[in-house]
Amino acid sequence: MKKFSIVIAGGGSTYTPGIIMMLMDSLDRFPIRSLKLYDNDAKRQEIIAKAVAIALKKVAPQVEFSYTTNPEEAFSDVDFCMAHIRSGGYPMRELDEKIPLRHGVVGQETCGPGGIAYGLRSIPDIVELIDFMEKYSPQCWMLNYSNPASIVAEACRVLRPHARIINICDMPVGTLRRMSYIVGKTPKDLDVKYFGLNHFGWWTSVKGKDGTDYMPQLIDYVSKNGYLTQKAIETQHMDESWQATHKKAADLQAVNPDCLPNTYLKYYLYPDYVVEHSNPDYTRANEVMDGREKKVFGAAQSIIEAGEFRGSEFEIDNHAAFIVDLARAIAYNTHERMLCIVENKGAISNFDPHAMVEVPCLVGSDGAEPLCQGDIPTFQLGMMQQQVAVEKLVVEAYCEHSYQKLWQALTLSKTVPSAKVAKELLDDLIEANKEFWPELR
């Protein structure tokens, strides 16, 4: 049986240990011979890598493990690159969130002006990873979590149209898990229909394998409680601010009563509410730096200091399970059904064929094949046309170094009230991102 070789790009990510633990848990169904970490921040990566080395010695000593900041070493002889880089790190995320709030606008990692700013930082870095992969392991697949996934996916479509990359998001997976709790099933028992853009979509069907339609029950539940559930064994999306987001889904559901919303729609449907409930001095980036980052790096440090892995320091979650399932689906051509971010090509029949959309796909050795979701209603179509134009303008602005197009992108975002605010915001974002963005003319 073939054993696979994997590189994790963004080795120093807070999600790296969880993915590795999941990979080790899955060795019988997805065997691995080599695992490498790659990062452009040697010091950050080293902490995770040293702890992982100790853990692997205990749980899977047969897997060859190494870490590097050298692209050739990292990307040579690999079958899969699991990528989750954060261009600019948490300090830039903090600015993405705080600068818009200073202008009374939603400050969010992937939505609105913050997502646009992050997008312009991510594009060159992801393109660089693709180029390393194609140079050193042309057969390799990149499974990419790096955000903002919608803008990153559009940039890949435009700049590297033939790349073997699949862009993914864990939010629908996490929410499906919550749905499965509500109806007393497991996620693997459920088949869904879904359409949208990344962090911008709706479920139109949730059914059991036997055909049982769970939509009426879910709609009733979500209209009252959002996606807050009693049972929740998740490690991800559990902080108080996330609980508020799950709860807010009730108000999202009210706008489109026939379908179930992605939680991220709150930034577009209730931006005024979001701004009112944000603390401009302490945003999600601060929560993450004080929370997940400290927790994961603290756990790594304690393993290093003890020189020993007890087995429970790192947690496995949906996020890790999804990317391992995806790799496995490609490796064994399983045609498992999963939500991926792909070029529309008619899957949403009445929507731009060249938009990058998030829809159920069959995943196999040729990648992700989108499943037809048919026509979508006018309300969602209108919202998606506006948002996809924002995303396309960001990529055009990047390619053409165009100040004008980036101003248009910000102006068009549903989160921004006027061209005036958009311009003021843009000038602040340019200043904050001058180390990362192309010079705009």
Q: Return the active site residues.
A: 170, 264
Of positions 24, 39, 278, 351, contacts ligand NAD by CB under 6 A? 39
Burial 286-323, CB ≥16 within 10 A → b, else e: bbbeeebbebbbebbeebbeeeebeeebbbbbbbbbbb
Site for Mn ion in 132-171 (CB under 5 A): 169, 171
How many positions of this chain bind ligand NAD (CB under 6 A)? 26
Alpha-carbon distances of 294 from 13, 98, 287, 318, rounded to whole Å: 12, 21, 10, 21
Q: What token pair was written down for 244?
A: 């508020």
Taking residue 332's Cβ as centre, other Cβ atoms within 10 Å add up to 14
Encoded one letter per residue, x for contact with Mn ion by CB under 5 A and - for no contact, window 171-200 reads x-----------------------------
Number of neighbouring beta carbons within 10 Å of residue 439? 8
Please state the closest distance from residue 145 (CB atom) to Mn ion, in A.
7
CB of 338 to ligand NAD, least distance (A): 13
Does residue number 145 form part of the binding site for ligand NAD (CB under 6 A)?
yes
Pick from 79, 170, 313, 343 the residue near ligand NAD by CB under 6 A: 170
Q: Considering the rule CB under 5 A, would residue 429 count as an interface residue with Mn ion?
A: no
CA distance 370 to 339: 9
94 binds ligand NAD (CB under 6 A): no
From the CB of 403, what's the least distance to ligand NAD, in Å? 24
Tokens 């169904």, residue located: 29
Distance, CA of 111 to CA of 174 (rounded, Å): 18
How many CA atoms lie within 13 Å of 106's alpha carbon, on the beta-carbon side? 26
Stretch that binds ligand NAD, among 139-147, 218-226, 350-358, 368-376 (CB under 6 A): 139-147
- In the complex, the smallest distance separating the C-beta of residue 156 from ligand NAD, rounded to whole angstroms, is 14
- Residue 37 site contact among Mn ion, ligand G6P, ligand NAD, none (CB < 5 to 8 Å, cut-off depends on kind): none
Using the minimum distance from each CB to ligand NAD, give the nearer residue, 218 or 341.
341
By a kind-dependent CB cut-off of 5 to 8 A, residue 325 interacts, out of ligand NAD, ligand G6P, Mn ion, none, with: none
Q: What is the largest CA-CA distance in the chain?
A: 61
| Smallest separation, CB 158 to ligand NAD (Å) | 19
396, interface contact from ligand G6P, Mn ion, ligand NAD, none, CB < 5-8 Å by kind: none
Residue 41 binding result from ligand G6P, Mn ion, ligand NAD, none, given CB thresholds of 5 to 8 Å by partner type: ligand NAD
CB atoms within 10 A of CB 56: 19
Residue closer to Mn ion (CB basis): 262 or 344 = 262
Gap between the Cα atoms of 253 and 219, Å rounded: 8
Q: What's the rounded Cα separation, in Å, for the pair 437 and 119?
A: 10
DSSP output for 47-105: HHHHHHHHHHHHH-TTSEEEEES-HHHHHTT-SEEEE---TTHHHHHHHHHHHHHHTTS
Q: Which does 284 bind (CB under 5 to 8 A by kind): ligand NAD, ligand G6P, Mn ion, none?
A: ligand G6P
The tokens of 9 are what? 């790009």
Q: Report the candidate in 39, 416, 152 with the shortest Cα–Cα distance to residue 429.
A: 416
Helix axes 294-306, 16-25, angle to 10 degrees: 60
Q: For the chain, what is the total number of helices (H) and then of strands (E)?
A: 17, 12
Instruction: State which of residues 27, 34, 40, 255 lies at the interface with ligand NAD (CB under 6 A).
Output: 40
Q: Least Å distance between CB 253 and ligand NAD? A: 21
Q: Least distance (Å) from ligand NAD to the CB of residue 185?
A: 23
How many beta carbons lie within 10 A of that of residue 33, not counting itself? 14
Q: How many residues does the chain have?
A: 441
Cβ proximity to ligand NAD, 74 vs 422, nearer residue: 74
Is the CB of 68 or the CB of 147 nearer to ligand G6P?
147
**Residue 394: alpha-carbon gap to chain centroid:** 18
Footprint on this chain of ligand G6P (rule: CB under 6 A): 109-110, 147, 169-171, 284, 288
Please report whether residue 87 would count as binding ligand NAD according to CB under 6 A: yes
Binding pattern for the stretch 43-82 against ligand NAD, x by CB under 6 A and - elsewhere: -xx-------------------------------------
- Binding footprint of ligand NAD on the chain (CB under 6 A): 9-10, 12-15, 39-41, 44-45, 84-87, 89-90, 125, 145-147, 149, 169-171, 319
- Binding footprint of Mn ion on the chain (CB under 5 A): 169, 171
